Structure 1
Amino acid sequence: MMDAETPGVGDEVRPYKIRVSSKYLDLTRQKLELTRLPHEGSAPSSADWWEPKPQVEPLIDYWLDKYSWRDQEAALNEALPQFRTAITLSAFEKPVRLHFIRVTSPHANAVPLLLIPPFPLTNLSLGHLVKPLTEPEDAANNQPFHLVIPSLPGLGFSDPLPNNTSIISTIAEVLNTLMARLSYPHYLATNSGAASQSPAEIDWKLVNTLATRYSTSCLGAHFIAPPLSTPKISEAPWEWTKWSIANFFRAGILGYDDSDFQALNRTYVPWSVGKRPPTPQQFGLNKLGLTEPNTLAYALCDSPIGLLVFVMKGLRALGPTSNFTPEQVITFTELAWLPGPEYAMRFWAYCATHDEDEERKEKEKKAAAQAAKPRVAITVFLGGKDAPVAPQGDVELTALPPPLRTDDKQKYVCPAWANAHYNVLHTQRVAGKPGLLAWEQPEVIFKGVRGLAKQILRLDKRLAPGITAPTAAEPAPLQKVVVIPASDSSENAGGPSTPANALSPVTDSDATPKPGLKVPESTRPGLAPTPSGQKDSDQTVVSTSNKDIVNTSSDKGKGKDLEVPKKPFCEGSTPDTLISSSPMAMTPSPSPIAAA
């Protein structure tokens, strides 16, 4: 896959804009129009079965007739300062290009925060969290942050890692390198979803690896519903003693709270001492049995409706009380559809079948014995009934299936259990269940990470504002968009590209995304990977890996006069924007998003 960025310049951070090839949008429409749905059956034979037709058919019509990806794309480019940088690791021959959002706070007391999106979502779906974290209404009492939100490798606009890579440890290294490159040698990190609900524990493994292996730079981490175990006498005798006494009396003593035991009493089976809660492989999305990803990847890469149904079921499994609009559900699907979901499936399958922590268990035990415990904040959910969530705006159709009956089996974790391996500085207990936290209860994330920041700033001067604040530098403008002319043939595909019209610099936006991917009508967000070819007008876009695809349509989105490609959606033809920007000696510091 060709790219207009200068090869071999690994330390540059470049402004980035999304532009999906019209070829992919036209082919997507063609596939939607040719959709074949399964025959309707009789009444389901199981109460857990779902009959998708009442929700899926209206969504297909909405996707074809009302939904506009270009509106979503323009909104994201306008609202969120995006960048990309190539990170070279010793184990890889080629650098990994990482896409990220970076918004610096205007407040002098801001500190750096790495916000990790919930897998398999990408960074651009979290735009509604930017303003509350960077520009809180009361910055004196609500800690502001310089915010960095990456898209994990293989998702969205970030390159995938090579095969047979230790994914979790490598991504942790990439993220830590990114923060250092942005002039943040010390920072905090937080999940944006419940670790206990993460597919294959990916969210938990990432933030835990950052906290334990990079504790000299990641000075504190916010764990949300972590899958912790009770203390063991062989590892932490004093913590084991405190837990044993508190558990014997079932009382809020020695660091435990009465609400801990009330929550434990609501769980499916009471915990025994030393027993770890069941991992997410035993419930939720991992019940799909995703141990071999390629079979499912072939199906989902070829069918936007197949992927839509997969997304719908995943959203319902993780957020049973969420009420997303049709536009939001389709945008989530487009985020996975346009780059192709295969790398996310392989990422998931690898983490479901490889336990990197176990492979390094002995080595880490020795290192942990000599090092200080990582500093963390812990947020847990006490369970019980969830409060009903009101629909977001005028919802004309039910966009999601009925709830899945899996949440009742998720077990409670006492925050004090973490004291066996971590230095717990802040604890937050929240009523109910987490759901899709970033959309349903974002204030839980804010409160947890601010509680952590308050304690870290009290104990560690390395995070004090003014020490890790970035050097002011204006972002370099995007100078050119490089497109491959329609006349270019496969024979000269390796030749130089022709420069086209100039793009305006990355600028601030008045529009701040609302929760659930909603912003004002003129700037509605969405996400998609960048195209292999960039559209210069309404005339031509050519995929660099599939040069015989030519779009002669002037009727956007209708797919008219579309020449069928010889190898449509072939390997390597994922959309990727060809953008050239001037080299920067210093990391750009975009201005924060202005108030709406």
Structure 2
Amino acid sequence: MTSPIEKFNIHVPEDVLDDLKTRLALTRFPNELQLSPGEEWSYGTPEQVTRNLVEYWRTSFDWRHIEDEINAHLPQYTAVVNTGSEEHGSLRLHFVHKRSTRPNAVPLIFSHGWPGSFLEVSKIIDGLTEPTDPKHPAFHVVAPSLPGYCFSEPSRKPGLSLKATAYMFNELMKLLGYTAYMAQGGDWGAMVIRALAIWHPENCKAIHSNMFITTMPTPIRHPFKLVKLIGAVLGSFVGLEIGYSKDELEGLKFAKYFMEEESGYMHVQSTKPQTLAYGLTDSPVGLLTWLHEKLRRWTDDYPWTDDEILTWVMLYWINGPVGSLRYYKEAKTPYLKTDERTYVVSQYTNVPLGVSVFPNEVFRFPHDWGHMVQPLKFWKKHEKGGHFAAWERPKILIDDIRQFTEIVVQDDLSLRSNTIST
């Protein structure tokens, strides 16, 4: 079942904003440890940082102004879209859709992750849809909110997985008239676009990721890369660069560190999201600190403003964060004798892959591992940037998407769209 596309503007009811101010005024703050300089964030979001943000949120933050800016800049819509599952039926998706004036523009679906949102597309959408250089490719951009995030409806039953999300996004693109398109994403978005490439290669013709992730090579699966990795590790002990570069090994070490020391949020959200949801749904400050720590830790010294931080948090507060928390557990749905996350990052597909590598990304895998899962057509490392590439380094990301597109369009002319918006 699908429904007509409906125009959507954000407008938070006044009583929701009044309730928020009341809750902020009643905040109880925990005791703070006396930590050494440079260690202030080692236990989580610091008290004084939070107190300052809460005071600004309560007394000065102008949501109505932010709301108007988002509505003016991003053309938003909703449509009821089939999940491809009898159990989940159809759900209402919220999405941004902006067409280029170029008749031969390439359709591109942008998929966000956690704790991001559709808002991340706002810094790249104009440069993609209307490039100033006529030699650069242009794009028709679609940026959905993941199911259960922001203004997209959550399922009331468990098991709405990456496969179902990819099905919905593919249906949405077809509903908009795009039968051949590219996809871009990071975080969960990186996995969603992989799911599109795996299950919908007839429509999704190429994907570009700013968080490439896959499984380790094994003796059965890519044994030569495993030998290369072992040689690189052994070589590092005697100061020799064998197989993989020092930078590539550092990326793997950081991924190991991240999973051991920085992934507590992931384990909670993947196991008992409903328990966590009570605190984050009831306390705006609880939600603020849960998200703020990640915004700071995962970026590359990005100078967040108070308005930016609070806007990102508001998009989770308005309808509650529970759907986004549950998404971690749903993506563990068993599939083909493994959990779906593992399947999605390790299954091979012939859909071309492009990767942008940023130094403060939480996962940075070796270049040639890309070939293990897809035909790798583009790989570019950058000197600055982190997890939220579209927000931190929008011009760089736009340029990488353009370069990758120029490569894949030569091989697949179906990406040149002449569709008319429905």
Does the TM-score normalized on the shorter chain lie above 0.5? Answer: yes
Alpha-carbon RMSD across the aligned residues, in angstroms, is: 3.3
Distance 2:234 2:405 in 1: 34
Matches within 5 A, 1:28-427: 28-43=20-35, 47=39, 48-50=42-44, 52-88=46-82, 89-92=84-87, 94-140=89-135, 142-191=136-185, 193=186, 198=187, 202-229=188-215, 231-232=217-218, 234-236=220-222, 240=225, 261-267=245-251, 269=253, 278=256, 281-287=259-265, 289-290=267-268, 291-351=271-331, 353-354=332-333, 356=335, 359=338, 373-381=350-358, 383=359, 412-427=364-379
State the match for 2:238 in structure 1. Answer: none
Q: Deviations over 1:383-413 (max 9, x none)?
A: 4xx7xxxxxxxxxxxxxxxxxxxx7xx5642
Query: 2:212, 2:363 within 8 Å by CA — same for their partners in 1?
Result: no
Change (3 A) 1:265 1:52: closer
Query: 1:264, 1:411 within 8 Å by CA — same for their partners in 2?
Result: no
Amino acid at match of 1:167: S
Amino acid at match of 2:175: R
Q: Unpaired runs of 5+ in structure 2?
A: 236-240
Q: Deviations over 1:288-338 (max 9, x none)?
A: 631211221111111111111112112112115121111111111111111
Secondary structure (helix, strand or coil) at the match of 2:168 reads: helix
Distance 1:45 1:430 in 2: 30
Higher helix residue share: 2
Amino acid at match of 2:402: R
Change (3 A) 1:429 1:258: farther
TM-score (norm 2): 0.85
The count of aligned residue pairs is: 408
Change (3 A) 1:46 1:146: closer
- Identify the structure with bigger relative contact order (alpha carbons < 8 Å, sequence gap 6+): 1
Q: Deviations over 1:536-571 (max 9, x none)?
A: xxxxxxxxxxxxxxxxxxxxxxxxxxxxxxxxxxxx
Query: 1:161, 1:167 within 8 Å by CA — same for their partners in 2?
Result: no
Deviation at 1:360, TM superposition (A): 7.8
Kindly, what percent of the aligned residue pairs are identical? 24
Change (3 A) 1:143 1:300: same
Distance 1:415 1:234 in 2: 20
Q: Deviations over 1:168-208 (max 9, x none)?
A: 110010001100111100000011x3xxxx3xxx3332121
Secondary structure (helix, strand or coil) at the match of 1:147 reads: strand
Amino acid at match of 1:359: T
Greater Cα radius of gyration, structure 1 or 2: 1
Amino acid at match of 1:131: D
Amino acid at match of 1:469: N
Deviation at 1:357, TM superposition (A): 6.7
1:23 is the counterpart of 2:1: no
Amino acid at match of 2:304: F
Change (3 A) 1:70 1:357: farther
Query: 2:9, 2:71 within 8 Å by CA — same for their partners in 1?
Result: yes
Distance 2:89 2:229 in 1: 52
Amino acid at match of 1:49: Y
Amino acid at match of 1:264: E
Distance 2:382 2:294 in 1: 23
Distance 1:38 1:295 in 2: 20
State the match for 1:440 in structure 2. Answer: 392
Deviation at 1:126, TM superposition (A): 2.8
Distance 2:195 2:257 in 1: 17
Deviation at 1:451, TM superposition (A): 2.5
Change (3 A) 1:13 1:269: closer
Query: 2:352, 2:377 within 8 Å by CA — same for their partners in 1?
Result: yes
Change (3 A) 1:246 1:145: farther
TM-score (norm 1): 0.62
